[in-house]
Structure 1
Amino acid sequence: MDISEIIIAGDTAGIEWRLPVFRFKGKTPGGPKAYIQAALHANELPGTAAAHFLLPMLSEAENNGAILGDITVVPQANPIGTAQSHFGELQGRFDLGSRTNFNRDFPLIALGERDSLLSDLDRHSATDRLKRQLLHMALGAELMLDLHCDDEALQYAYIDEAFWPEAADLAAALDMEAVFLSDGESSAFEEAVAYAWKYETAGQKKTSLPGRLSVTVELRGTRDVYPDMARKDAEGLLRFLVARGVVAGDKAAVPAFGGIVAPLDNIEMIRAPESGAILFHRDIGDKVKAGDLLVTILNRPGQPDGAIEVRAPQDGLIVTRVSTRHARRRSDLMKIACATASSAARKPGPLEA
């Protein structure tokens, strides 16, 4: 295992950020290469915990001569976000300097332009230099796993339709309960990687990318950072690497995926009709029917008409809900995966900002 650091100079004097990178050299020429990163949203730490347990497993595999393809692991991909604290609370999702989501605005380039990401880096801000370094590393692999988590959530993933159903092995290896099929219409990290592969040939868009995978993995919720969970996630990641031939082992160990598969148009985004205290009647993992009571919003507590009921628009599985117990008007409350499309209009791209 080789451990190095990428140093990113800050945008003010006397500051620099250090990005640890762990690399394993594969012994099979032409073997599939994997890139795994965690905590791009710096406050989403289940992936960091999983990487902590995965790295010793990979070291053991390396000692046994079982690393077939190159593997790069970045356990904490966002040192800039990790340092952002506001009144004692970590602010890891948005760059406080630019107000930009750390998982948006990645350069959309063709694969052949990969080296241009590192050209004249000094003309970019620290955050953009970080993004370019991460994307450059990821585009050196065929398999890219970006480990995130939701607020309160089941284990699920956003997977571009171009990788499905081949990516069912990842969903099964990590024991996911749902897969959201994305449309590849944003500048998030996983979609920037996929974009480079889709437009590898100028003027031609590939709609299927066999042997490749770029995915956002949602490792449950922000508070689900426990040793047993992290170890289980690491074991799942290793099973996937074995299944794809990156690490030698028993490929039959990955079962069939039996969870829900839903296009983004089939995700019901349950939002608060008014502001107020949130009373949840249903939890993640619950299967609901159309009309079931999901949430009560106390917008005028104590008054006869001070509570608003929010009901399920159709049958589905509650995959996520928010951990806060106060809502602003139109703020997100839940995501429900359904068998049919939502009647609510959705723009192409991500479900959330």
Structure 2
Amino acid sequence: MRVGLVIYGSLNTLSGGYLYDRMLVENLARAGHSVEIVSLPWRGYAAHLTDNFSSEVRRLLMRKRVDVWLQDEMNHPSLFRLNRDLRRLGGPPLLSIVHHLRSSENHPAVWMPLYRAVERAYLRSVDGWLFNSRTTRQTVEALTGQRRPAAVATPGGDRLMGAVPLGESEISSRCYQDGPLRVLFVGNLTPRKGLHFLLDALGRIPSANWQLDVVGRMNMKPAYTRSLMKTLQASPWKEQVRFHGALDQDELKAVYRSSQVLAVPSSYEGFGIVYLEGFSFGLPAVGTTYGAAGEVIGSGDSGLLIPPGDAPGLAAGLARLANDRGHLLTLSLGARRRYLTFPGWEASMNGARLWIESMAAGGGA
């Protein structure tokens, strides 16, 4: 089977969505299928809309000889109208990989009707949807008012630790180590990931009780990063925060292993691979109630779910973990147990591949 995959930029981009796409491509390749990447350049939203009228982009897609098209839903502004032309020509099935919707994010209210309309038109222009969570599926069906052939293949969390998570004895010993609560944030520095919210909450806790390690690309939203740094430098607890930038896998494993809780209070997550990866190290996760984080985190069992923007509530939850190490251990062991209930990458991507093969063969599953 010849597969075309449409993305923006490089498949090696550091993000959960691109990791999912890479894992799917690798699974397809292992099964003997060829995958050709069609990379459209990163530009602004308005510029992406003009791709629909670009003869160059049109020729690029129409000249490819593939049996099925996969499109990362992030590319929707470039394809919402162009897909209609591709379908009208009777080409191969168009399948969208949907991680989360732009219209689920926080944007200025004036732009939201446009974002919803373009995203709705795009999602209606494809033949099938591949989702990373039940929440994403429900969100898409609510936006479009339609159903399509679809599959849900959740991400795996075994990229770093494999099938066997960190042992209970090491987790227990780590929970009771002396010193401040070691909080870990893993995510690119963008407003959606909520580092500003986490810092607000931590600033309400005595600084002797916590330290924060921040892992992730710092150049995604330069203005946001500058604002964070300005806030931090003006704070009395700036020495409690360490920025590591992007780390390789071995470095990331070491940081996970030495931390005690993972806090990524995103305003929205389509799934939250980072929470599941943290579980493999026995780290309870702190997320928010909006989006699909609740499909991963069992609040009070393997972590905490806080309403977006509730800094006092987040501070109270983290303060309890710092002061009650028995509670920290309960959630840490709960995180380990919950990790074992999720399929790994291979099993999940096998299911995604079988669905794609069925759709390419005209199965319409």
TM over 0.5, shorter chain: no
Q: TM-score, normalised by structure 1?
A: 0.26
Q: Which structure shows the bigger proportion of residues in helix conformation?
A: 2
Question: Which structure shows the bigger proportion of residues in strand conformation?
Answer: 1
What TM-score comes out, normalization by structure 2 length? 0.25
